[in-house]
Structure formats: C-alpha cells, structure tokens
Structure 1
C-alpha cells in the first residue's frame, strides 16, 4: 500500500513542477515584454506551450536544443529579429491559453483555428502590428473584447464557430482596413445597426441571435450572410423591419384585453349599434354603390389609356429591332433604306479572308446590341440573317479628316495580322461620314468584367492559373503587334483590361490594336493606363511601343491586386508605395490567397509589372523580354529563384475570401 502511494506521488511530481514553471513564466511576462526583444517572445511562446500543448504536438519548441524560436520552431516565423507569424492550425491545442500570446508585440499573423481552445479572448490591444487574426473552430467563450477595435492594421478577423456571446462591438468601426469579418456560428446577440465598415468585402454573421435592422453599409451582401438570425430584418433579408416592428408592437388594450365579467362580449364580435358606428353611419347599399362606381370608373380610364397608346404606336414600325438598328446606324450613308442618299459617298465592304461576304445592308438588317463605348468608338454585337455573329466597331465620331488612302492602307495592314491572341479584323467599310470595322465576336466578355465584376458575396474567384494565362496571352499578342515589320513600328496604342477579350475557350485576345493613330490619342482617354510621357490633352494621335509596355504593366497590376486602374487613381504609384514600406500580401488580391505555393510567382510577376511601369521609357523592358519573363514564371523557371525580397505570406490555409480595392 505504501509503495503504491509512493508511486502516485512520483507521477504527480512532474506536473507540479510544470505548473510551478508556468507560474514563474507568466509572472515574468510583464517585465520581459517591456524589453521588446526576442527573449520576451521566447518566454511568451513557452508559456503558451505549457498551457495549450497537452498533446505534446509542439516537439520542436525546445529551448535547449533550439534556443531561438526563429530557427525551426513549428508554425513560427520571424521578421527583423521578432516573432511575426504564429500559425498553429488543427493541433488539438486546448485550455485557456491565449493570454501569453498578447505579449508578442510584433505579431502580424495569428492563426489558431481548428483547435480546442477555450476561455475568453484576452485583451489584444498590445498587438498593434496584427493584420490577420484567425481563431475559428474552437470553444472560445465570453464577449468579443472591444480592444479588437484598437488593432488599426487588422484586415482579416475570423472568430466563427466558437461559443462567443454578447454583442458585436461597435469599436470594429475603428478598423479602416478591415476586409474580412466572420462571426458566424456563435451566440452573439443585440443589434448591428451601428456597424459601418465601408471597406468590408467578406462578411458572415449567420447562425447567431442578432436582432434589429441590417445597416445600409452591409445591405449589399447576400441574405445568406445574415441567415439564422430570426430577429434581423431589412435588406437583403425578406423580413421587412416595418412588419417586424408591427408584429412586435403591443396590441391595443381594447382589442387585447378580454374581460372576465359575465356581461362582456367575446373579442371581435360587434353589436348592431357598434357595427353601425364602425361603418360610419353608412348603410350596406351605400357601400356597394361606392364599390361598383369605383370599378366602373377604373374600367373607363383603362380603356381610354389603351386607345391612346394603341393609336400612338400603331403607326410606327412594328419591329423593335429595326428601330434599334436606326439608332445604331443613324448616320449611315444608306439611311437605313438601302439606296444611296444624296450628299453621301457610297462605300463598300472590304474583306480580308475567304468565307461568307455581306454588305452594309445586311448589317442594317442585323439584330444589333451595343457592347460598349471605348476610346476608339462604339462596339456592337450584330446577328446576321443566317445566324452568324460578328462584332462591329463604329469609329468614334467617324472622323472625316482621315484620308481614304491612309485609312485603307492602315486597314489592309491590320487585316493581315493573325495571331491566337489577337481579335482578327474580318472586314471594314469606309465612307466619308461612316467608318465601320468588322471583327470576330468574342463571347467571353473582357478582362475588366472578369476581374472587377460582381465583387462581393457569391462571386466566383479568378484563380491564379487563369490570371497567368491571360497575362501571358496578352503579352504574346502585343509582341506579335510590335514585331510586325513596318516603318514606323506599329503600336497598339490602347492597351487596357476592357480591350483584352476572351474567346469561347477563355483564351485572351487583344482588341482595338492599331487604331490610336486614326483619331485623338486613345491613351489620353484611358488615364489609368497612360504612360507619363503621353500627351495629356489628346489633341493629336499618339502611340508608342514603350507606352504599350507601360499599359500592359498596369494590366498585370490589375491581375495581381484586383484593383481598378481608374482615371483618378495611379495604380503603379500605390503599389510602389506599399512595396517601399515592406513586401506584404496587402498588395495582392485576397482571391489569390486561396491558392497555396504561389507566393514566389506572385512576387516575380509583381517585379515584372513594376519594371513595365517604370517612369522612364528607357527603363522599361521590351515586350519580347516581358513574354520571356512571364513564360519563365509560369513554367517555374529560374526567374522565381532570382527574386530576393520575401513576401509575408498571408495565405493561411483557406481562410481568405474576396478582396477589396483598398489602399
């Protein structure tokens, strides 16, 4: 019996020593944190391990064999001699063990999702550098600390699938960079009407006990974001806040209280006197007469309106389609009728390839749908009588200053350009006041819509492989244009994401090439892509191959950042300002963070894009060099290894969602 008791004592002794060591570590944390050194980070991590790692999964966290956590400690990464990342996902970490981590003052990324952590979330206001906080799928309880609002650099917060209670703190409004907020599957209650998060792109508040109206700043998200909160109302939910308010309003005492006295009458039953008063003294016959009179008046008014509109439109062309065609070709030399109109020069359709031929009259009869207006003109989708589809571009303002010979020579040269990444010019029509270009129709839309359309919940992300294919295809198409033998050398003149079209296979094709010299400078009308050396007024035609490389560099930045290259914003300058501060994933589109193992490729592509958008034209690479660099990156060549800066990879598992266009 004594032997058994003695054995038990020796088994308990190591746990007592561990607990005593932990107490000593925690007592030293405040003093060590003030020193702001790696030593304080080491003590904080040891304290966390002692509290959380009961399964002993952090074997590499051994200060005796590896005294520096920056060496090979699992899930730990450092920057400038301090712990900057702690990613420990799915390791069965448990207990109320988050408190020591509040002393990692230089921490930028903290991901402890898919563990067994419990207890309250401590005050994290000391983590001023924190950018990503993932604590989902644990057993954390208590309220969300208002101190989270002091993390001004935070742009992703995921506390979903825990046991959190209390309200959603309004202090979150103090997070100007917050892009992701996931609080779903908790026990949060109260109202969210005070939330104003203009930069937010990824939101989930479902499966809680929230009440009140959805604020206007969040109304653009889908209803699924708020599902599982019966007390919420307003857009985008089906429940109207007005109906919810009336349902919750107290019932008037006269209707709600049923007297228990013997002489009281049942609720809802009116006596003859009450019924007469309820009708305002009108008899049943009077009410019927009023209803019949109103109905008759309604029938008369409806008939008059029908006759009026029938007479107005019966004399017009019955075909809505033909009316649309007149709008499209309102200044055509045929006036929509097919015969030559006095004062107009009769033109002809010129084709560049064998196949079906058609005349302008066929285009006039075709079903026409406007696709968009650009710097060079207005584009239409035309469905011919035989069902074939072409794209027709009507040159902007139909400039009559272009001589017929110059125009035809330019068109004949462009018509000879054939490449898998160019939109082929099929035919053209020239008259003094009407100039039309006929192209193959691209059913896949354009790169701008693919990248920037429908940003928010429900959007299908554009994967990295797709973006690389578009970048390489656009560069190859531009290289074919630049390599065409002609003096002076041919330039595209209007490279931008709306002029990169997608065919039925999704392959990219450059459109509008070679048209910049036919009118005012298209580059001047596309400020976001205009190189510094381009004329700003656009009074004279202008295009250059170095300018094309600059514009392609802006397109590459669009592919990398997900931001719009708008006329009011300088995308290259914004990227350069972020890069000068540090290499971080803040530059890159959050949609790309879903993919693993692409960080080096993204950094390499960023280097290419920044080289293309150099301020000095002489410092920009030639397009042939750009093609080669992109090919090396896509094939995993040596270009990846040559990149010296390191990116702080924020692609923590699959926690990333859609990005915002945030500076």
Structure 2
C-alpha cells in the first residue's frame, strides 16, 4: 500500500533534520580546543596545565602542542595527563566531545564524581582512569566503546553491579576493576579475548565462570563471596539456583482463547503499521548515515592512520595464565623481557614491556623481514617497532636459536653511526620478536622520489638527491667496516636489504639506513626484486657486501632516473640496470635522467659521472663492482663539483661524451677508504 505524500514528506524532513544535527555536532579542531579549555578550568587547580591558556600556542595541535596532547589530522587523538593532581567532580565530562580521541589516560589524579557518558568517543581504544576518586556505578554507556582494547577503572570508589553492556566489548584485552566496591556476579565480564583481568578487592559474589578459571587467583582475591577455580570450590549452599524471577516469568503467561484475535484488520491499522515501519527504516537509515558519513568523508590518510593503529598483544605479559590457559593451551607461556642495547648513561628512554604493549601504534608498512609500526608511549615518546615476521626456526624456539638471536642483536646494537638507524632494544619470546628503533619522522627515499608524482608535488632536487646518496653510502661503508673493528674472527658484516624504502630521513634530513642485518632472520630472501644481485639465491636468507654494493647501485639509478626498480617474476618492466644500459647503448643517455632534474642547470657532467658510478656498482659480475669506500669517495667528489659550480660547457657535449659509459671498464677496486 502506498504512503500518503504528507507521510513521505514528514519522513524526508526527519531524515534531513538528522543529517543536519549530525553535521552540526561533528567535531572540529575548535571544538577540541574548547573542550580542553573547559576541562582545564574545571580540573586544574594547581596550574599543571598553565600552558593551555593559548599564550604560547593558541591551538592544542599547534607548535608547541599542549602538554599531554597528541594530534593527528588536526584533531586531538591522545590525551595523557597522569599524576598531575587534577581534581573536580564534573571535569571528566568535558572530554566527551573529543570525538577523535583514541587514547585517554588520567591515572593518578583526584578526579571525583560519577564516570560520565563517554559513548561519543567511539574511536577510543585505551581508557585509563585508575587511582582517582570516581564514585557511583559503572555507566552502561561504556559498552558502546566497541573499539576498546584496554579499560582500567581500578582504585576508585565505584559501586554497584558491573553493567551487562560491558559484554559487548569483544575486543577488550585488559579489564581492571580492582580496589572498588563493586557487587554482584562476574559472569558478564567473561570476554572472549581478555588477557589481563583484575577484579580483586571488591564485593563480588557467586561462582567464577569456567571461561575465567584460567586467570590467576590474584585476579579474584579480596572478594569474600567469590568461589570456584582458581579460588576454593563453592559449597552446595553457594551454588546457583534458578532465580525466582525466571519462574515467575515462566508461569505468568495468561491463557488465551483461540478464538480471540480473529477477524479482519482495519485499513487504518494497516496504514499505521506500514507508516510506522517506514518511519523506523528511515530513522535507522538516517542514524547509520549519520554514523558513517563523517568517517567516509574524512581524509584518506587519517582513515589509514586509524585503521593501521594495531597494537601487538600476542606477547602480552598477562597471557601466561589468562587467555592462553583459558583457551585450553595448558602449556607454559614463555615471557621475555625488553633488552636495551644503548650504552650505559646514554640517556635513552627506558620503558617496561607493559608500557610498550599498551602504546598506540600506526602500521607504517610490511616488508620481507616483518611489519613496522610507529608506536607512541603514554608520555608521548615516539618509537619505531619492527615485528619480525618469522621465527629463527620452525617450532618452539630452542636455546641455541635464542642464543643466536641475542648474539646477533648484540652485534647490531653496536652499530652506531649518524647514517644508520640505531637498534635501541629488542624483545624475545617464543612467539614474538620485536625490535625497537629510533623513529625517523621524515619518511623514506622511496616516498620522496615516487610519491604524489602529480600537480602540487615538490620535486627532489639534485642537491638533495646527492646529499641522500652520500649519507647512505657513508652508512653502508660503516656497516661493512664494522666487522674489522669486532676482531679477525668476526664474519664480514653486510646490510642485506638495501633499497629506497630502507633509506630513511631523520629530523635534520640526513639519510639513515634501516633494517640493517635483518636478512639472516627472515625465512626467505629479504632482498627485494629489482635490488637483488644476480648471484643471490632466490629463496633463502642471504647477504653479502658485494650484494649490498649492487643494491646501492640500483638506488643510485633510482635517484638519477626517477624510476621504480622493476624485475622479479611477472614484472611489467625490466630491471632498472638493464633498462639503463639498453638506453645508453643506443646513445640516448639524455633520455635516462629524471625530467624533474632538468630544472637544475649545469649538472650534466655530475649526472653522467653518477650514472657511470651507478652502473659500475650494478655490474653483473661481483668482481667488477667497486668497494664501498671507493663509492663514498666518488659521491663526495661529485658533490664537491656540484657545490663548487663545476659544470659542462654545454649539455649536448656532455651527453655525447656519456655514450662511453656503457663501454667503460669497471671502476678500480684499489684505494678504497673502507676495505671489505
């Protein structure tokens, strides 16, 4: 039956009203600043947040950022204010409008009053409110925070039963409710992925569910009414029985006459039912659109940042007797520890494993050795964490493999150079191996060369390319030379995976080599197609100094041509060295160079010299490749010529002379500053 025009018009107006309300309520940088200002006024009585007054920085995401505030895409995404003496009964509610927030930690303050409705914070993943003076019941609205990984409400004055809505938090890995005055049963918090549980020192009662029996007794002690594994068994008197309410429901259904309810439904009733259904459908559609529209219309980079924020939990220290045992594994769970490799007194940031595991993390990319994350600790410290893809050997790690891993990490930890990303710490467990590096904020050479090659792009000029090439060459020379400093019995050290994505830029724009020495830890060849030397085996870990020089030659060609290295099975383009050689043989050398370099005048001779060096490095025969010390010296000479204004008389003459590149003999290996 068709609806009347007035009914459809009303539904349309209702939908438009919902969308306008959603748009009006969408958060913004200004609303974030207003919310934080209101929070400071309500909570900061000691002046700990004095820098939030806007005099130094008018915006929480400005420079410098407000204390404890981390932003992404212009919105406040993390707020960490721990142990600052913040207080006030209504202060916490002002933060509910920070709808881009993913981490909220207010531990160790004196905030009081009830826990407010935080359901607008749908992106929240970490919520830490422990060691405050919060009172009242746990709000059922917390069940709407379906993205939560960790929830800590311990050491407050909370009372009442745990709301059943918390059972919706099926992603929750940590739940701490200890040291409150909570009552009732604990059945509702038997969550499937829970690894860290603590409900001790409350007033809970009843039998502990079987699904929670794998947690240690310390998770439940201090509740006189609780019983069952892992606590002492329940007595018969304390066993659960059918609640009277259930029986009442079962017996309260009134008897019905089969003849009752028969007869035709009136036309008005049918119209009312259809109209009601349409109104409900329209309302639901409007709400769904209201929920998803801000996310679909957000920046792609911000969406990638949110979707990539994955925290490594498989090595959680709470899994030993928690979720692992509850899942029926029954075996021992090996716990590792973070081993720091920095020099004593080096001033590096030290942290515990738990702090690393609860850090928010953005996935930076995946490679042959594993997955890289940008991890932000609670205090704002930024780290790069590499999660190795494969263990050293299949099956449980043996003592020998662990010893080999530790020895290898010790060697890598001693490689300290301004052009090498330092390995600061590592974590070893049977099922998890993490490497902690200094974070490089300015991306990779690959992104600078190949990213956004369209309108609005800022090209990488010749001076910048040469500076990056020189820095990477110095870092590689240091790595190759490191084995000589370690003694005659130490095998030659090689990087093993030179490529443009592993040449990163630090805060000052200096090039640094990443992933040094990880080739031996991969289950397959970690050298990428296009950079792999011809002599390299295709399917097993392998690294050599000659192979590094070949890969560096490909990087130099990448800098000169602006092309991505091809090669590999099914590749659409030939390998970059072969393509360059074929063009040079046809005496079309000028067609090799990146068009973005054409704006730089007077660099033709330098480009040709670098092209000759790159092709000698990428020679098919390992013996024809120069040593890395010679490469460093040649790059420095070309840079010096560029800086001093040396240039060819004319572009055409230099290009004609460059045809000899393809026929020139390999550069002499003698006289290298760094020996292989």
With structure 2 as the length reference, what TM-score do the two structures score?
0.47
Larger Rg: 1
